[in-house]
Amino acid sequence: MSKKLTKRSEDYSKWYNELVVKADLAENSAVRGCMVIKPYGYAIWEKMQAELDRMFKETGHENAYFPLFVPKSLFEAEEKNAEGFAKECAIVTHYRLQTDPDNPGKLRVDPNAKLEEELIVRPTSEAIIWNTYKGWIQSYRDLPLLINQWANVVRWEMRTRLFLRTAEFLWQEGHTAHATKKEALAESKQMQEVYATFAEEFMAMPVVKGSKTESERFAGADETYTIEALMQDGKALQAGTSHFLGQNFAKAFDVKYTSKEGKQEYVWATSWGVSTRLIGGLIMTHSDDAGLVLPPKLAPIQVVIVPIYKGEEQLENIATKMDVIVKELRKKGISVKFDGRDTFRPGAKFAEYELKGVPVRIAVGNRDLKNNTVEVARRDTFEKQTVSQDDVVTFVSDLLEEIQENLFQKALDFRSTHTTEVDTFDDFKKVIKTKGGFVLAHWDGTEETEDKIKELTKATIRCIPNEVVNEAGTCVFTGKSSSRRVLFAKAY
Amino acid sequence: MSKKLTKRSEDYSKWYNELVVKADLAENSAVRGCMVIKPYGYAIWEKMQAELDRMFKETGHENAYFPLFVPKSLFEAEEKNAEGFAKECAIVTHYRLQTDPDNPGKLRVDPNAKLEEELIVRPTSEAIIWNTYKGWIQSYRDLPLLINQWANVVRWEMRTRLFLRTAEFLWQEGHTAHATKKEALAESKQMQEVYATFAEEFMAMPVVKGSKTESERFAGADETYTIEALMQDGKALQAGTSHFLGQNFAKAFDVKYTSKEGKQEYVWATSWGVSTRLIGGLIMTHSDDAGLVLPPKLAPIQVVIVPIYKGEEQLENIATKMDVIVKELRKKGISVKFDGRDTFRPGAKFAEYELKGVPVRIAVGNRDLKNNTVEVARRDTFEKQTVSQDDVVTFVSDLLEEIQENLFQKALDFRSTHTTEVDTFDDFKKVIKTKGGFVLAHWDGTEETEDKIKELTKATIRCIPNEVVNEAGTCVFTGKSSSRRVLFAKAY
């Protein structure tokens, strides 16, 4: 706890890596690129899951579970999708170990236990799911099919970072089937909205909603809708995507339905997902040089009470008094921890909860007892205030809302000041290189230009924003005419 | 829906397999031995998860997440554990596919992407977790460490059955570390109690608590505590196990702590798990020839309301009236579905909800509206009753409790009449062969006798019950003296 965190201004990347470990969120494991999500980090994921799951169910989706493995012949059925993931697949080839005759006490792969067909550990589940949907969909009455799955997936990434890019990660993946193109499009846009609402209202992380360019689309999708957030180092984070898959998977897996008119039609599809990467986004949006800053709506502990005492009697008096307040706060649905440990001093506890981003800290000492007060400190601004014990429940309840709002506003302000419209390529390069952030610029719509800009600046088109004014202009790189600006940034 | 279910008396195993599929709980997938858990089946799992998770947290456990893969060198570290699972492991050997030069459009494993060290898909996570705990535990202050994980695991079983035995299954696995043997023993017994409470109070499935014999223990455990349930075909189902692991994993992974006295000591361990197998147990405990029977506490839909109407106006009148009742039931936390679909007749709906085991069905027609009544039918006994609309909310709420209680009592009665004390091996064979069920018999305590009995009768020692009267007797097979009876049965 005592070791100091690297400052963001010194080395943002180092700051992030240290923070994730020091705040007890996650750590690297013995398996290359795979992380261990520690209880405190997992508690944030549980809070995210609960809200997202509720939102999915409110929009008519049900959960199910599909196999971890995809037989190679199914995996390769939708060619673009297969091509997109082929280079980063964990592949199961054998199903048995045996004692190693050359190394007593050790095991080796049993060469006689080779699978006839290799199994791919799912990097995403379209293939196995659409192969299943074939059996579930016969008639228009079976549609829409609105299913979500909470699962682990594996993508053999070469450069990994805790939460942001790991070989195994946890996510949810929605997979829906519809009778018409219109319905499927509406579904994929609806889920983009759900993600945006979640990001902004719960994570307090403002996002730009838009569509991906063809080269940035999900492999196998006709359209990818995305939400893009801006981190404090001026880099963008793709926080969630929702894909309109057209009839690509229906055709690859021959999934047809009989329409009301008795005709055989291919089904239309969507898929959409967010992952434990969101935790990385949450950290990088709000946290500071003192540690994690968590929005109250996703904080595993919203309020911590630290008694400042000498001797057991004082502790007991404080605990008795605080017990009433703890119960009242909990009655309001607020999660509270009373930290009466005698193995740590108040100062160490303050530092610990600062590092762990607990939104509100209440300190109470012997003098407070006499004055019927407590000291309330907020994590986002470090402001402290003395509050009467009679008012503290209402005060804290209001304060949590205020912190949630303040974090969003602060992130929104940061994004506003770090979104720049540029009209020349010199300015483009300069802004990307020095100021960073989002750059709104005209683009001629060609993949060639997109690639060139990426090559020269490392900035990519994050999205074609949903909400953008049509505006005549010229491509920042080629000078060709363009009707709207798109959003560029360097990205995670 | 119209296709009839095989009767239990005709072919119990066929009845089970058909029921799982027809009630929309699960189905086999394209991956050998792996199942797809359909939304209705998954909803039962979610209910189970919610209750168990609450019980784990109430007993001080936190959730975390550890990698899916176990490097071979870690996997083999605890030799007994490794030996126990080596023969049924899915093994990842490669991390990339490439286009197959011999088959255009197809992929093959890239021979240049062979892993230096093979990865085992976790069949259980002791190895990867204890390798992690080594970094988390230094001092007695770090203990106890009380962690649970919700995850998928893979065991390459040769003969699989939906829910009961699948190559991939979902489960939770608790892994705890303690300073003393006493604490670890108390923890493993506590979790056996938690499982028993869950089985009896939520699943309405009576269980016998006991310890496993050495030959039936978890590989790597010093003691395995189990809960054993009896299915309607007279076979036992091991429903949950809690292991006292001694210092086996601490020694294999060199996990020591500094005691209060400053000494270096090995840590004591437990692990405990229940899986989607519980759904198989739930089905086989209560269901009948008409389909699934679900205890109200785990039923995704507790009450279904089926309107019986001619024309839209009648439907609307019924719907309006029922809407009030639906809302009142929901206010009491009861999950209700109003099925107003016009694509199915009431008879078909009745059959569907019977098959799906919805505990209470309310039917309401035009005459009911006039009489201010509804018809309430219970799934467990098929009894119907006409109830005034004014009383229906209280009536249904009480009825759900009664059904829960009745299912447990019925299962308990079945178990009582199917638990037989025998004192000769002839009787033993006869009971196992004809009547089935649990057999309480004396055993001389040797593995040899246990094996012989298994070979001759297929019955195994399910457990040495916790609650058994000490009683002098002689081994049912060898005639040697014995001080207590143990529980035998054929088992899933």
Question: Which among B71, B91, B170 is the nearest to A93, CB-wise?
Answer: B91
Residues in chain B: 492
CA dist A430 and A436 (Å) reads: 9
Locate the chain A residue with the closest alpha carbon to B61. A39
Q: Do the Cβ atoms of B485 and B467 come closer than 8 Å?
A: no
Q: Cα separation of B460 and B442, whole Å?
A: 13
Which of A31, A46, A100, A260 should we substitute to test contact with B (largest number of B Cβ atoms within 10 Å)? A31
- Residues of B within 8 A of A27 (CB-CB) are 132, 135
Q: What is the mean pLDDT of residues A333-349?
A: 95
Q: Which residue has the tokens 């009267």?
A: B469
A343 confidence band (pLDDT: 50, 70, 90)? confident
CATH number of A12-66+131-286: 3.30.930.10
Q: Which of B31, B94, B97 sits opposite A69 (nearest CB)?
A: B31
Q: Do A109 and B88 touch (CB under 8 A)?
A: no
- With an 8 Å Cβ cutoff, is A35 touching chain B? yes
> What is the architecture, at CATH level 2, of domain B421-489?
2-Layer Sandwich (3.30)
By C-alpha distance, which of B277, B272, B275 is closest to B237? B277
The shortest CB-CB distance from A76 to any of B106, B132, B170 is to B106
- Cβ neighbours of A395 (radius 10 Å): 17
Q: Could you tell me the pLDDT band of residue A2, with boundaries at 50, 70 and 90?
A: very low
Contact present, B462 and B238 (Cβ < 8 Å): yes
For the cut 70, the answer to whether the pLDDT of residue A56 exceeds it is: yes
**pLDDT recorded at residue B3:** 66
Q: What are phi and psi of B234, to 5 degrees?
A: 85, 5
Residue A201 sits at the chain B interface (C-beta within 8 Å)? no
User: Is residue A229 pLDDT above 60, yes or no?
Assistant: yes
Model pLDDT, residue B483 = 92
> Which fold does the domain A420-489 belong to in CATH?
Translation Initiation Factor IF3 (3.30.110)
φ, ψ at A133 (rounded to 5°)? -55, -30
3-class SS string, B175-214:
EEEECCHHHHHHHHHHHHHHHHHHHHHCCCCCEEEEECCH
Q: Hey, what are B430's tokens?
A: 């006869």
Tokens 């929005």 belong to residue: A295
Report domain B12-68+123-286's class: alpha beta
Residue A119, pLDDT above cutoff 70: yes
Selected residues 58-77 of chain A with any CB under 8 Å from a CB in chain B: 62-72, 74-76
Bridge-based pairing of strands A107-109 and A62-63 is unpaired
With contact defined as beta carbons under 8 Å apart, do A321 and A327 qualify? Answer: no
A34 neighbourhood in chain B, CB within 8 Å: 67-69
- Cα separation, B25 vs B37, whole angstroms: 6
Residue-wise pLDDT tens digits, B358-367 = 999 999 999 9
How far apart are the C-alpha atoms of B353 and B244, rounded to whole Å? 43
Cα A179 from Cα B250, distance rounded (Å): 56
Report yes or no: B254 at the A interface, CB cutoff 8 Å. Answer: no
Residues of A in contact with B86 (CB under 8 A): 96-99, 107
Distance from CA of B4 to the nearest CA of A (A): 20
Domain range annotation of chain B: 12-68+123-286, 303-399, 421-489
Chain B interface, best mutation among A24, A25, A29, by max B CB count within 10 A: A29
Tell me the pLDDT tens digit for each residue of B400-425: 999 999 999 999 999 999 999 999 99
User: What pLDDT does A3 receive?
Assistant: 65
**CA A207 from chain center: how many Å?**
12
What are the contacts of B135-140 at 24+ separation with CB within 8 A? B135/A27, B137/B177, B137/B255, B137/B256, B137/B257, B137/B267, B138/B257, B138/B258, B139/B257, B139/B258, B140/B179, B140/B257, B140/B258, B140/B259, B140/B260
* Cα–Cα distance measured from residue A397 to residue A406, given in angstroms and rounded to the nearest whole number: 14
The pair phi, psi for residue B163, each rounded to 5°, is 70, -45
Nearest to B428 by CA among B457, B403, B394: B457
Burial class (CB in 10 A: 0-12, 13-18, 19+), B103: exposed
* A148 CA: distance to closest CA in chain B (Å): 9
CB neighbours (10 Å) of residue A106? 15
Which A-chain residues 422-441 have CB contacts (< 8 A) with chain B? none
How is residue B400 written in tokens? 């759900």
Best residue in A28, A37, A107, A133 to probe B by mutation, most B CBs within 10 Å?
Answer: A107
Q: Per residue in B134-148, is it b (16+ CB within 10 Å) or e — as a string?
A: bebbeebeebbbbbb
Closest C-alpha among B160, B158, B94 to residue A72:
B94
Report pTM: 0.97
Residues in B closer than 8 angstroms to A157, CB to CB, are none
Look at the alpha carbons of A183, A189, A192, A196 in this order and tell me if their dihedral is positive or negative. Answer: negative
CA B148 to chain A, closest CA, distance in angstroms equals: 9
B158 in reach of chain A (CB within 8 A): no
CA distance B261 to B124: 34
Number of other residues whose CB lies within 10 A of the CB of residue B102? 7
Is A91's CB within 8 Å of B88's CB?
no
Task: Write out the two tokens for A356.
Answer: 């762990």
Decide if A42 contacts A216 (C-beta within 8 A): no
When scoring B34, B66, B97, B125 by the number of chain A Cβ atoms within 10 A, the one with the most, hence best to mutate, is: B97
Partner A contacted by B35 (CB < 8 A) = yes
Tell me phi and psi for residue A468, to 5 degrees.
-145, 140
For the record, the structure tokens of A18 come out as 């240290």
Interface list for A 159-188 with B (CB within 8 A): 168, 170
Cα–Cα distance measured from residue B445 to residue B461, given in angstroms and rounded to the nearest whole number? 11
Q: What is the dihedral of CA B134, B137, B143, B146, to 10 degrees?
A: -50
Question: Quick one: tokens of A448?
Answer: 């060639």
Any chain B CB within 8 A of the CB of A151? yes
Mean pLDDT of chain A: 97
> Which segment of A2-6, A385-389, B71-75 scores lowest on mean pLDDT?
A2-6
Q: Across the interface, do A97 and B119 touch by the CB < 8 Å criterion?
A: no
Q: Kindly report the number of other CB atoms within 10 A of residue A61's CB atom.
A: 23
Q: Any idea which residue has 């040697």 for tokens?
A: B480
Q: Find the CB nearest B90 among A70, A92, A131.
A: A92
* Identical fold, B303-399 and B421-489: no
If DSSP states are collapsed to H, E and C, what string results for chain B? CCCCCCCCCCCHHHHHHHHHHHCCCEEECCCCCCEEECHHHHHHHHHHHHHHHHHHHHCCCEECECCCEEEHHHHCCCHHHHHHHHHHCCEEEECCEEECCCCCCCEEECCCCEEEEEEEECCCCHHHHHHHHHHHCCEHHHCCEEEEEEEEEECCCCCCECCCECCEEEEEEEEEEECCHHHHHHHHHHHHHHHHHHHHHCCCCCEEEEECCHHHCCCCCCEEEEEEEECCCCCEEEEEEEEEEECHHHHHCCCEEECCCCCEEECEEEEEEEECHHHHHHHHHHCECCECCCCHHHCCCCEEEEEECCHHHHHHHHHHHHHHHHHHHHHCCCCEEECCCCCCCHHHHHHHHHHCCCCEEEEEEHHHHHHCEEEEEECCCCCEEEEECCCHHHHHHHHHHHHHHHHHHHHHHHHHHCEEECCCHHHHHHHHHHHCCEEEEECCCCHHHHHHHHHHHCCEEEEEECCCCCCCEECCCCCCEECCEEEEECEC
Within its chain, how far is the Cα of A334 from the centroid? Answer: 24
Alpha-carbon gap: A195 to the closest alpha carbon of chain B (Å):
22
Tell me whether residues B128 and A31 touch, CB distance under 8 A: yes
Give contacts of B172 with chain A, Cβ < 8 Å: none
Q: Choose, out of A95, A109, A122, the residue to mutate when testing the contact with B (most B CBs < 10 Å).
A: A95
Please state, in angstroms and rounded to a whole number, the distance separating the CA atoms of residues B209 and B226: 6
Residues of A in contact with B21 (CB under 8 A): none
Residue of A nearest to B112 (CA): A87
Q: What is the mean pLDDT of each run of 10 residues along chain B (492 residues)?
A: 82 98 97 97 98 98 98 96 96 97 92 97 98 97 97 95 98 98 98 98 98 96 98 98 98 97 98 98 98 98 97 95 97 97 94 98 96 98 98 98 98 98 98 97 97 98 91 96 96 96
Task: Tell me what percent of the residues of chain B surpass a pLDDT of 70.
Answer: 99
Query: CA B275 to CA A213: how far, in whole Å?
Result: 43
Give the whole-angstrom CA distance, residue A289 versus residue A4: 9
Instruction: Report the pLDDT averaged over residues A9-28.
Output: 97
CA–CA gap between residue A329 and residue A308 (Å, rounded): 20
**Contact A128/B at CB under 8 A:** yes
- Closest-CA distance of chain B to residue A277, Å: 14
| Alpha-carbon gap, residue A164 to B190, rounded angstroms | 38
Average pLDDT over residues A117-128: 98
* Surface of B (374-403) touching A: CB under 8 A: none
CATH number corresponding to A301-399? 3.40.50.800
Q: Among B1, B76, B95, which would you mutate to test the A interface (most chain A Cβ atoms within 10 Å of its Cβ)?
A: B95
Assigned superfamily of B303-399: Anticodon-binding domain (3.40.50.800)
